[in-house]
Structure 1
Amino acid sequence: MTVFRITNSNYKDDLSGQGAKIYGGRWNVPGHQALYTSQHISLCVLEMLVNISLTESSVKYHLLKISIPDTMIPAIILNKKLKPNWQDDEAYTRFMGTEFLKNKQAALLKIPSAVIDEENNYLLNPLHSDFKKIVISKSNPFKFDNRLFNF
């Protein structure tokens, strides 16, 4: 399986999940390492746009193509199993994701995107014993199209 991640170029070689540990995210509370990835490059862009300020658009970014062995089966949170309007309740999603990270039963969790319901992100657990099998297969500089910031 291949997943994608857009990250600040300073951290283009870092899969440690330290940023999520410091700041938390939609699917984890601070204090728990996690790596956020998406199934499509375009979803990465949208996820970044809802999370960065316009002043950050001048930061240099990298697009990472991350390879996950096909033998690694993700745990799955199905959109239809979530409560209505789950996108508006970060405490709800943070609890579920943090429990996944703490349990270490799988290295990756397939989660619905709060931006595009029909697409998925993958939360990776850097503390899982199989995580070392996950590698960056390609890394390129990435520039957001400036038109994305003209709203």
Structure 2
Amino acid sequence: MQVYRITKAQYADRLVASGGAARWNGRGQFVIYTAATRALACLENVVHRSGEGLADDFRVMVIDIPDALPVTSLVLSDLPADWVDFQQYGSCQKLGNTWLQRGESAVLRVPSAIIADEWNYLLNPAHSDFQRIQLLRTDLFVFDPRIKS
């Protein structure tokens, strides 16, 4: 399976995690966020950057997750009813942090909070299977200038 990550060019040459807090991980928990499609990766950037800095130099990272690699999935029934609300970050972070601590897989499939029935894939660089995940290539990515916050 191929997944996608759009990032500034200076960070696009390797698979690394910043350890910054996000919806599915607390601060200091190292996770790489990817999306099932380029379009979802684009929307994730637009939402999280609030339309700022979209004219910078970006790349789309094309990442291969081998089909034989186990993937843990969070399904909607595992989540609080209002999980998409910003106030529920703590609940979502707890689920992601538990996945990291258990070390059950290198990949966690989570629902997109932006588009229903779309999926993001979190990568755990500390898992032994992570070495099987490969950055295939990076391509230039330009946000359409009509995209506004």
Range class of TM-score, shorter chain: over 0.9
- Contact 2:79 2:92 survives alignment (8 Å): no
Give the distance between the partners of 2:94 and 2:78, measured in 1 at CA.
Answer: 15
- Contact 2:3 2:64 survives alignment (8 Å): yes
Name 1:13's counterpart in structure 2: 13
1:37-61 deviations in Å (ceiling 9; x for gaps):
0101111111111100333112211
1:14-54 deviations in Å (ceiling 9; x for gaps):
2121x2x0x21110001111000010111111111110033
- Contact 2:51 2:147 survives alignment (8 Å): no
Query: TM-score normalised to the size of structure 2?
Result: 0.94
- Contact 1:104 1:128 survives alignment (8 Å): yes
Please, which of 63, 70, 73 is the counterpart of residue 70 of structure 2? 73
1:59 equivalent in alignment to 2:51? no
The two structures, once aligned, show a CA RMSD in angstroms of: 1.1
1:99 equivalent in alignment to 2:98? yes
What fraction of aligned residue pairs are identical, expressed as a percent?
Answer: 34
Moved over 3 A (4+): none
Name 1:146's counterpart in structure 2: 145
Q: Secondary structure at 1:85's aligned position in 2?
A: coil
Name structure 1 gaps, 5 residues minimum: none
Name 2:83's counterpart in structure 1: 86
Q: Secondary structure at 1:25's aligned position in 2?
A: coil
Structure having the higher helix fraction is: 1
Matched residue pairs, number?
147
Name 1:27's counterpart in structure 2: 24
